[in-house]
Structure 1
Amino acid sequence: MNRSERAVITRRPRHPSSVIPPHPPSPQVAAPLAGTADLLAQWMNGKKPATTTSTRPDHGSGLRFAFYGRTSTVRHQDRVSSQGWQRDMADELVAGHGQVVAAYFDAGTSRRIPWRQRPQAAQLMAAVSGPGSVIDAIVVGEYERAFTGTQFTTLYTWCTRHGIQLWLPETEGPVDLANRDHRALLSLLATQSQREVLRARHRVLAAMHNQATQQGRYLGGRPPYGYQLVDAGPHPNPADARWGRRLQRLAPDPRTAPHVAWMFRQRLAGHSVASIARHLNERGIPCPSSADPDRNRHRTRGAWTLRTVAVILANPRYTGRQTWNRRATGSEASASTPALSAKAAHPALVTEQDFIAAQQIRAARTASDGRARRFALAGLIHCGVCDRRLDSHWNHGRPTYRCRHGHTSTQRAGQERPKTLYIREDHLIDQIDIRLEEQVSAAKLEPDRTRSTRVATALRDSRLFIIYDSAGWRLEEIDSS
């Protein structure tokens, strides 16, 4: 596109005394001697050195640009080199049109994060919109480093509102969305940027899936309770191995592995998850957050809970097989299926047969007559004191419901709390049957259903649930909002 065709956005006057100075050079790089660097650079580029009396740039002429760049990570990318080539692209673009007077560079920030949530980009936007700003235009080193999705359109609208230009190397100058060619190019760049993200994610997830299934490789994260990380030899990539990178694998932790094996033995013996957690607390066994506080800084380091024990008993890594992506969410869930190594990758704490048997044990037991215990009103009764759902409880051969107001079997008795609510299902069914006569009468046309099942069906069909407290019970409609 010719320069004459480029759109020029009217700029309101700024006060020259508030020019934002450029960032100082990195302290690790020594400043070259004045004049020598320019002459040598011209010689390297095959240009004839120009006779000049001053090497100081003229900041008073042309547009005043703010440079913006970004790199995704600080661990796998060199900020100096990444910022350097992006800045070179920007300087080459604005040469002859003005001078970069301020630089902003986000390191370790994903391109999916909006500009206002990126630290340096937010500072840039604040500097442009603040009083006394002298920035005439924003220039970026590469579109894909700065934008993805609809971010460009959002920023372009913002720049137009503040009367500044937005320059891209891909458009060889200021962007003008009124130009049909610019609109087509920006649409292509947005698609290409999104495709790059999706393609990289697909490759990484596919590679990790293969590494877990075929190689049984440990792919990071906190080691499960009962295991510790040990060295597994040099990295299989020769280049990474030359840099000293090494693999890791899981090995039994002598402090915690016996407790994991004990949990599985207790579960296979028929003990409930609650009783296992309670015995661990009574014995003073450190829970995972206490045993490994450095990797569990986000946890409270409290006592064993039902959830903690249940997660351990359901983790197939204890069989010696490596797993990955078991609880994937969002893009990972659709991009890759759960991975299980084809063979053992580390010492097992439980056999595969015992692990499968432990998964088949359920809290619901058969009654003395061999019939399964069923709770027709499970989930339909709410406590009027604490608003929790009443727990299903089998007592004296019949279904009952109770609420202990947050007290669990993993805690010692005696803690102050409201009196436990308790009600028998048959007593409640007798009372509700009268209130739901019309609804239940229709359900009675199905003789193969029990009375409790008919009442529960009528409640669900009518979108009603039961509120129960010491004063009695009442029906309330489920709030659809």
Structure 2
Amino acid sequence: MTALSPTAPAPKTAIVLPDETFSGFQTAPAPVTTPQPRGQQVIGQVRFADLDQSAGEHWPPRGSYHVSEHEPQRAFYGNQFGLTFPVFVHYGVPLWVPEVGGPIDPESEAHDLVMSVFGGISKGERNRIKIRVRTAMASQAKIEGRFLGGRPPYGYLLVDAGPHPNPSKAADGKRLHRLEPDPVTAPIVERIFAEFLAGFGILAIALRLTADGIPCPSAYDRERNRHRHGDAWSKSAVRVILTNPRYTGRQVWNKQRREESLIDVEDVALGHETHQKWNPRDAWVFSDKIVHQPLVAPQVFQDVQDRLASRGPTSPRPHAASPKHGYAFKSRLKHRDCGRRMQGTWTHDEAYYRCRYPREYLEANHLDHPQNVYLREHDLRGPIDSWLTQAFAPAGIEHSLSAMQDAQPTGDARGDALRRTIAECDRKLSPAPCRRRGRRRPCSHRRVEPRRADPADVREGLPAARAEVDLRP
């Protein structure tokens, strides 16, 4: 069953039991799609799970379409029940819960109270898990200096550090990683710190690096920075290097956090979305000891921070949160001269689209490009609205749809490869002419019974399964 909140835990059991599958739901792991009551599909795809035979007296009779929740405290998070149950009532699909002894009565206050309690239990369990995980990660970073994921900083490489100390994760093939200086980029980091202490500014350092033909971080690692142009060194790239404490040899964790905010304050039923936010420096977790080879001495790093602080504002100024503005053509406009995507900006109480080229990029590449190019959104709306009105008028809509169909790409190598992979997976999972206990089983691929799984069989099949996917750290 689909959860409404993107941050809620996945339901443990959400089972659709039509009459033809009720007798074999304990042994059939294949997903089942619900019927379409009153011409609508209420639930998408759900999966079977092991059920306790002791709860059999509470399950609904055969011959009817319904949804049964084996563990409602894991299926509904917070107020999800109050948001989803009216949909079941509207389409006439009963929701069976063993804890209430049968289907939920939409008119019963006691049933609403019970399901609200289950939602609170699920929310509390999620919060406790989050606290335990974050506490464990903070201890691992502080005491052990363990690398807990993410990209290695510019100047370092990510190398293998042995099997995972957790036996179950080690059996699954997970391994630890640590940072090791990159012989190509580590000297560049040392040069940046030395030049800054020698009196060069951040812009001057960026221009000197570009003039010497040294690739910037996004150009050096194009595989993970395809969204960046990588033309030259920017001031922000130099500043990030100068303020990264990992170059002193200590591990740092909790520099950022995930913060949940309402998608729409006018419609709280839409749920929350997650954003990355920077934590204050006093909330960062530093390792107690040096865990990888430092590129700069601690005193050098501190001198750089003092010099940066002396250049900043001397008095704290309140930072007012800027209001969010909508842009009708966001990510749709590109500047004709340079081909770069234009960014939305709010100027003089109007929406504009801007193509901005920093001065260091212009000087490094000798480009004849204005530093800022602005386009007002109001000047686009009128002509585009008129064109859409003509293109999709009743007299020309057929021609417009045919033109849209002809404009679709015909040859997509990556899409064709994905479709072949999906077809191969469907072939392996499709039932083969094999009979066991009188039932057709998907015998064309290795299979492990959920109740009689042997860990050795699982480990034996892992290398072959991993060989079919592209695993990246």
AA of the residue aligned to 2:155: G
Q: Where does 1:156-195 land on structure 2 (aligned, <5 Å)? A: 156-195=85-124
Residue 48 of structure 2 is aligned to residue 96 of structure 1: no
1:29-428 aligned at under 5 Å gives the runs 83-85=48-50, 93-98=58-63, 136-330=65-259, 337-362=283-308, 406-412=357-363, 415-417=367-369
Deviation readout 1:38-84 (Å, 9 max, x if unpaired): xxxxxxxxxxxxxxxxxxxxx9xxxxx988787xxxxxxxxxxx843
- CA–CA separation in structure 2 for the residues paired with 1:176 and 1:91: 20
Alpha carbons 1:140, 1:167 under 8 Å: kept: yes
Residues 365 and 84 of structure 1: CA distance in aligned 2, closer, same or farther (over 3 Å): closer
How far apart, CA to CA, are the structure 1 residues paired with 2:124 and 2:167?
29
How far did residue 192 of structure 1 move?
A: 0.3
Residues 305-359 of structure 1: per-residue CA shift (max 9 Å, x gap): 111111111110010000001132427969x932000110100000111011111
Shift, 1:191, TM fit: 0.6
Task: Tell me the secondary structure at the aligned position of residue 257 of structure 2.
Answer: coil
Tell me the distance in 2 between the aligned counterparts of 1:351 and 1:317.
11
Q: Could you tell me which runs of 5 or more consecutive residues in structure 2 were left unpaired when the two chains were aligned.
A: 1-17, 36-40, 261-276, 316-344, 349-354, 373-473
Give per-residue Cα distances to partners, 1:233-282, cap 9 Å, x unaligned.
23222343344432110000112111111111111112111111112222
SS at match of 1:321: coil
Shift, 1:29, TM fit? 8.7
| CA-CA distance at 1:294 after TM superposition | 3.0
**3-state SS of 1:248 partner:** strand
Distance 1:279 1:363 in 2: 23
Secondary structure of the 2:49 match is helix
TM-score, normalization: structure 2? 0.52
Secondary structure of 2:162's aligned partner: strand
Please tell me whether the aligned partners of residues 226 and 252 of structure 1 are also in contact (alpha carbons under 8 angstroms): yes
- Paired residues of 1:274 and 1:306 also in contact (CA < 8 A): yes
> Contact 1:69–1:86 (CA<8 Å) still a contact in 2?
no
Q: CA RMSD in A?
A: 4.3
Change (3 A) 1:388 1:342: farther
Residues 253, 187 of structure 1: CA spacing in aligned structure 2 closer, same or farther, 3 A cutoff?
same
Q: Distance in 2 between matches of 1:169 and 1:342?
A: 51
The structure-2 alpha-carbon separation of the partners of 1:269 and 1:148, relative to structure 1 and needing over 3 Å to count, comes to same
CA apart distance, 1:405: 7.1
1-structure distance, mates of 2:346, 2:120: 49
Q: Distance in 2 between matches of 1:140 and 1:327?
A: 37
Change over 3 Å in CA distance of 1:225–1:373 after alignment to 2? closer
CA distance in 2, matches of 1:315, 1:96: 63
Q: Distance in 1 between matches of 2:361 and 2:168?
A: 51
Partner of 1:477: none
Distance 1:261 1:200 in 2: 41
Specify the code of the residue in structure 1 equivalent to 2:189: V
* C-alpha separation in 2, matches of 1:290 and 1:267: 22
Amino acid paired to 1:252: P
- For residue 189 of structure 1, what is the amino acid of its counterpart? F
Q: Is the 8 A contact 2:155 2:186 kept in 1?
A: yes
Question: Residues of 1 paired with 2:180 and 2:244: CA distance?
Answer: 15
Number of residue pairs matched by the alignment: 290
Contact 2:29 2:49 in 1 (8 A): no
